[in-house]
Chain A
Amino acid sequence: MEGGTGYSAVGPDDVGQDMRLELERKRLGMRVLLETAQELSGILQPRKIVETFLLTAMGPVGARCGVAVLARPAACEGMVLSRGLPAAEAEALEQRLPEICDAYFPYRDLDGDFQVSKIRAIQRDQAGGDSLLPRGMDILYCFTVDEEHCGLLALGPLLAGGGTALHQDAADLLQSLLYILMGALRGALAVSSIRQLSVDLGRKNDRLTETLAASQTAQRRLDRRVHQLAAINELAGELAHLHEVRKVLDSFLLTMLGAFSVSSGLALVLDRAGRGVDLAIRGAPDTGLSGFAAADVLVYKAFAATGARSVAPLTVEPVAAAADALAGCGLAFEPACALFFALDREVQGVLVLGETLSGEALEEEDAQMLRAQVATLLGYVQGARRLSTITALNDGLVRQNEELTRTVAELTEARQTIALLERAGERVRAFLHAEGLRSRRFSWLDCGVILLASMLLGFLFNLASPNGVPLVPGHLSRPPAHSITAQKARELQQSEGAVIVDARPQAFFEQRRVRGAVSLTPALFDMVYIMRFAKLPLSTPLIVYGGNISRRWDEDVAARLLAREHERVMVIDDGLSAWVARGYPVEP
């Protein structure tokens, strides 16, 4: 290269020498280009490429100093590299990048007019940048790398002499080097751009992954929220039809366990005035919390853990550190979340939930929703309690109404009875009064009429009755039977086998009779006679006894026997009494 600055007129030998030197320069130039291309091809960092190129370009040209600028004029950013300059001047030059861009890359603002792969050799006085570049750097080349990047190469002064103009070969070599530089820079910038794009894509991918994860998390939360809202919506419809506090609590607890994926829990309402407890428990056994004392302790501990100083009606307060606050209350599961609620100063309750199925604690939004649902529960519990009270009052009214109806009916009946009795009393009084007046009008005619009617009725009855007494006793209208003494009768019985006939009724006969006597009463005369006496010889003596002053059965029987043509029919004087008086045998 140094030979390039010493041309002169010579002979034919010199021509061969010149041609040899020319070939040598071209070989050297090609070698430089090859080595530069090889060296730059292995570098991917634009800064390193520019540094290497600057060092490589200064040698063949023979420049003592060199400055290379690679910039993005549109962004007014880039790099300024220098060789052979003092450190302070090099540092100051790096600070002048915007001015360099304005001075040497004025076309940066021309959209669409950015020519790629163009190398322009610039005269320094044309650039107007004498104050920007160090003195002596008159070899200036502007080149464009791609649509965004362009560069500046400034060399000088040259080592050979003080000239600033390059030989044509050196200029061609420098332009070839610049093309190599531009190609290397394009490749490096492309690689850098690809890397940047890759990094950007990686970052975007990471952001997309994070966004996707966040979206999935949000989707899960949204799904869970939708599930909770659907469950709560169904719960609202279900609770509207429940009229008992215990059933309301049970349904609410079941829904909350499902909505928040909790395995166990309890809901409890305590009525201190009525000393009543309504308890619903799921996923764990009842450990006695349905009793008033245990439930009172649980509710009090829950209230104490809320930090509230007084019980406000229709409020819901979270229980802080539920596991510690409710320890020792007899819960059959480990409480993870608890809420204290109050309907009024006397009716309070607590909702306690165990751990979730996933083992994670409830999120803040879940806790807020749970609190809102418990607040909603208060309305249903209060409604159920009021309905229960109204039902009880209604039942009482129904009972009172029935009692009143019964009482009214009894009073009505009593009034009717009283009216009836009053009318009856009036009639009795009127009758007594009339009878009293009538008794004052007593007459013997009335007496006679009554007596006559009584006699007539008695006569008719006696006449119709088979056992009636004849108006005229039969024995008075017929001749009396032959009478004998008891002694004579005894003799006839013993001597002639006379048959003693007892004419008295059967009852007298069975009570006492003459030994061996036969009962033959007037009432059964026909039947007994044909059975007992029909075959008796008519000459057999028949001795009859039995009679008194009013009834002469012996006379009647004797008359009937005589009518049957018995020849010897006799009647004992004084009957059985005379027989007994004589001491004759009787029976039984």
Chain B
Amino acid sequence: MSRRVFPALALALLLAGCRGPVEGLEGDYECERVDTGPARLTLRPDGGGALCVGAEEAPFRWEARGNGVVLLHTRQGGVIKVRLGAGALELDMPGTGGMTFRKTVK
């Protein structure tokens, strides 16, 4: 009995630990900055996403942590911390300073 219960319990705990994106965060966000031009941040429900500036696009994967923090994982292994605040994402990108992305209304 325990030989079946313990693996199932461990698998359940593992799956519970692999939390996906928080429902409600997915969607498109836009930032209007004069120096960089309009930028769009897309968070997909499957955990993928992309940062688009003009014709350039940088893909990433995202995950929501506690305390209103969203982490963006780049393909090269870098991590960018994003804070949630009043329906907006505040992105602190090295070399470019703080950027505020607001959710676009469909």
With a cutoff of 8 Å between Cβ atoms, the chain A residues found around residue B77 in the complex are 465-467, 523
Cβ 8 A contact of B80, one of A467, A519, A527, A535: A527
Question: B94 contacts the other chain (Cβ, under 8 Å)?
Answer: yes
Establish whether residues A534 and B96, one from each chain, have CB atoms under 8 Å apart when the complex forms: no
Chain B residue at minimum C-beta to C-beta distance from A467: B77
How many residues of A sit at the interface, in one of the four size bands? 20 to 34
- Known contacts A466-B76, A535-B37; A528 and B53 CB within 8 A of each other: no
Q: A151-175, CB under 8 A of B: which get 1 and which 0?
A: 0000000000000000000000000
Let me know if A527 and B74 touch, CB within 8 A: yes
Q: Is A228 interfacial (CB 8 A cutoff)?
A: no
| Cβ-defined contact, A519 with B56, below 8 A | no
Contact of A526 with B58 in the complex, beta carbons under 8 Å:
yes
| A392 lies within 8 A of chain B by Cβ | no
Least CB distance from A498 to B in Å reads 16
A520 contacts chain B at the CB level, 8 A cutoff:
yes
B39: nearest chain-A partner, CB-CB: A531
B57 touches A524 (CB 8 A): no
| Cβ B36 vs Cβ A532 within 8 A | yes
Q: Is the CB of B56 within 8 A of A530?
A: yes
B93 touches A528 (CB 8 A): yes
Q: How far is the CA of A532 from the CA of B53 in the complex (A)?
A: 10
Q: Which of B53, B59, B95, B99 contacts A534 (CB 8 A)?
A: B53
Which of A506, A518, A528, A530 is the one whose CB lies under 8 Å from B57? A530
- Decide if B94 touches A528 in the complex (CB within 8 Å): yes
- Please determine whether A531 and B78 come into contact, CB atoms closer than 8 angstroms: no
Tell me the bound Cα distance from A527 to B78 in angstroms. Answer: 10
In the complex with contacts A527-B80, A531-B53, A521-B93 CB distance below 8 A? no
Task: Give a binary string over B58-81; 1 marks a CB under 8 Å from any A CB, 0 the rest.
Answer: 111000000000001111111110
Could you tell me the distance between the alpha carbons of A522 and B60 in the complex, rounded to whole angstroms?
14
Q: Which residue of A lies closest to B99 (CB)?
A: A531
B84 at the interface (CB under 8 A from A): no
In contact, B95 and A530 (Cβ under 8 angstroms): no
- CB pair A532 B95 closer than 8 Å: yes
Q: How far is the CA of A528 from the CA of B74 in the complex (A)?
A: 11
Q: A579 within 8 Å of B by Cβ? A: no
The A interface, classified by DSSP as helix, strand, loop or mixed, is: mixed
Interface residue from A509, A523, A530, A534 paired with B78 (Cβ < 8 Å): A523
Q: By the criterion CB–CB under 8 Å, are A534 and B94 in contact?
A: no
Closest to B72 in A: A527
A462-478 vs B, Cβ < 8 Å mask (1 yes, 0 no): 00011100000000000
Q: How many Å lie between the Cα of A494 and that of B95 in the bound state?
A: 20
Contact B51 A527, beta carbon cutoff 8 Å: yes
Residues of A within 8 A of B7 (CB): none
Q: Does A300 contact B (CB under 8 A)?
A: no
**Nearest Cβ on chain B to A540's Cβ, whole angstroms:** 15
CB interface residues, A 522-574, toward B, < 8 Å: 522-532, 534-535
Out of B72, B73, B79, B96, which one reaches A531, CB within 8 Å? B96
State whether the Cβ of B54 lies closer than 8 Å to any Cβ in chain A: yes
Q: Kindly state the separation between the CA atoms of A523 and B76 in the bound complex, as whole angstroms.
A: 5
Which A422-469 residues sit within 8 Å CB-CB of chain B? 465-467
Q: How far is the CA of A531 from the CA of B36 in the complex (A)?
A: 6
CA distance A526 to B54 in the complex (A): 14
State A535–B38 Cα separation when bound (angstroms).
12
B17, chain A: closest CB distance, angstroms: 18
Q: B76, A534: Cβ atoms under 8 Å?
A: no
Residues of A within 8 A of B54 (CB): 530, 534-535
A466: which B residues are within 8 A, CB to CB?
73, 75-77
A525–B51 Cα distance when bound, in Å, is: 12
Q: A509 — which chain B residues lie within 8 A by C-beta?
A: 94
CA distance A526 to B77 in the complex (A): 11
Report if A521-B58 is in contact (Cβ < 8 Å); known contacts: A506-B94, A531-B36, A531-B39.
no
Residues on A with beta carbons closer than 8 Å to the beta carbon of B51: 527, 530-531
Bound Cα distance from A522 to B74, whole angstroms = 10
Distance in Å: Cβ of B89 to nearest Cβ of chain A: 14
A524 touches B53 (CB 8 A): no
**Does A521 contact B36, Cβ atoms closer than 8 Å?**
no
**Interface residue ranges of A380-432 to B (CB < 8 Å):** none
| Smallest beta-carbon distance B55→chain A, Å | 9
* Given A506-B94, A519-B95, A520-B95, A530-B53 contact (CB < 8 Å): yes
Which 4 pairs from chain A and chain B are nearest by CB?
A466-B77, A523-B78, A530-B56, A526-B58
Known contacts A525-B76, A530-B57, A531-B39; 7 further A-B pairs (Cβ under 8 A): A524-B78, A526-B74, A528-B93, A529-B58, A530-B58, A532-B95, A535-B36
B residues at A contact (CB < 8 Å): 36-37, 39, 51-54, 56-60, 72-80, 93-96, 99
Q: Can you identify 11 A-B contacts, CB atoms within 8 angstroms? A: A465-B77, A467-B77, A523-B74, A523-B76, A526-B58, A526-B74, A526-B75, A527-B72, A528-B94, A531-B39, A535-B36
